[in-house]
Amino acid sequence: MKVEVVGKNGFSPSEANKEYAAKKLTKLKEMLPDYEDVTARVVCKVYKTYHKVEVTIPSKNIILRAEVTEADLYAAIDGSIDKLMKQIRRYNDKVKDKLGKPGIKNASVVEEAAEEPKISREKHVDLEPMTAEEALDQMELLGHDFFVYLDKETRKTNVIYLRADGDYAILETEAK
């Protein structure tokens, strides 16, 4: 696996940071048959009170991605590797259940089964036409970190949400 470690927000990862990330990513070697052919991109961001690590691995069958925020950079790297391993296990279990195939890990590796996420609640939402600013006000009044609304101008369903950096973003839907 080729490992590309980059920094953002004025942070430049040291050689020790890069070596640590590369060493930790070797844990995935037995789980990814195309391990030697993929490139993992590790993005390290430093903020005043925490570190964020984003790891993306475009593998043969799936794109793996993990994002972890911790007080320590090394803990964030460890957490992202744990998340990637869970994703691979879950994917393997789904492929095995649906197709009877072993998934993307080698047959010689036996991993404990990951608990399957489930839908535990459904909620009905009445979409009212409103502007983005009105939707933002509603979201803040409700204390949520996202809000679904019908855009007054376009008459399309949109989602406004709070980003990790404290700003807001809007997902605009588009029918195909």
Check which CATH number belongs to the domain holding 43 and give it: 3.30.160.100
pTM for the structure as a whole: 0.57
Q: Looking at the domain assignment, is residue 108 inside a domain?
A: no
Q: Are residues 91 and 31 in the same domain?
A: yes
User: Are 141 and 89 contained in the same domain?
Assistant: no
CB 158 within 8 A of CB 148: yes
Same domain membership, residue 153 and residue 66: no
Overall number of domains in the chain: 2
pLDDT in tens, 37-82: 888 999 999 988 999 999 998 877 678 889 999 999 999 999 999 9
Residue-wise pLDDT tens digits, 105-153: 544 444 444 466 788 888 888 888 999 999 998 888 878 889 999 999 9
The reply to whether 123 falls in a domain is: no
* Total H helices, total E strands in the chain: 3, 8
The Cα–Cα gap between 37 and 41 comes to 13
Tens digits of per-residue pLDDT, 15-47? 999 999 999 998 888 777 776 788 899 999 998
Range of the domain at 12: 2-99
CA pair distance 12, 114, nearest whole angstrom: 35
Q: Is residue 10 part of a domain?
A: yes
